[in-house]
Amino acid sequence: MQKAYVLLTAVIGREEEMLDEMNSIPEIKEIHRMMGVYDLILLVEADSQDSLKQVIQQRIRSLDSVHGIIMMVVCPGA
């Protein structure tokens, strides 16, 4: 199992839309709202590193409500 923490900033005024979209992605195991530079922090899990990359690139980063993204992959065994 591969895991990553993902920090997201929303397009201004689209924070609720972004939250709703994240709730529809089954690989996202935790979602926490934040105040400050980032709007959400996600815990994303997938079966492989390729699957993880695909979820983040194609299902999260590509959304119109997402303005910025930082991804931090958890090292195996951690």
pLDDT tens sequence for the chain (78 residues): 999 999 999 999 999 999 999 999 999 999 999 999 999 999 999 999 999 999 999 999 999 999 999 999 998 775
Residue 2, helix vs strand vs coil: strand
Residue 61, helix vs strand vs coil: coil
Predicted confidence at residue 78, as pLDDT, reads 57
**How crowded is residue 23: how many other Cβ atoms within 10 Å of its Cβ?**
10
Domain edges within the chain: 2-73
Predicted confidence at residue 20, as pLDDT, reads 96
Residue 63, helix vs strand vs coil: coil
- CATH 3.30.70.141 for domain 2-73: no
Could you give the CA distance from residue 11 to residue 72 in angstroms, rounded to a whole number? 21
Total-model pTM = 0.91
Q: Are 31 and 23 in contact (CB under 8 A)?
A: yes
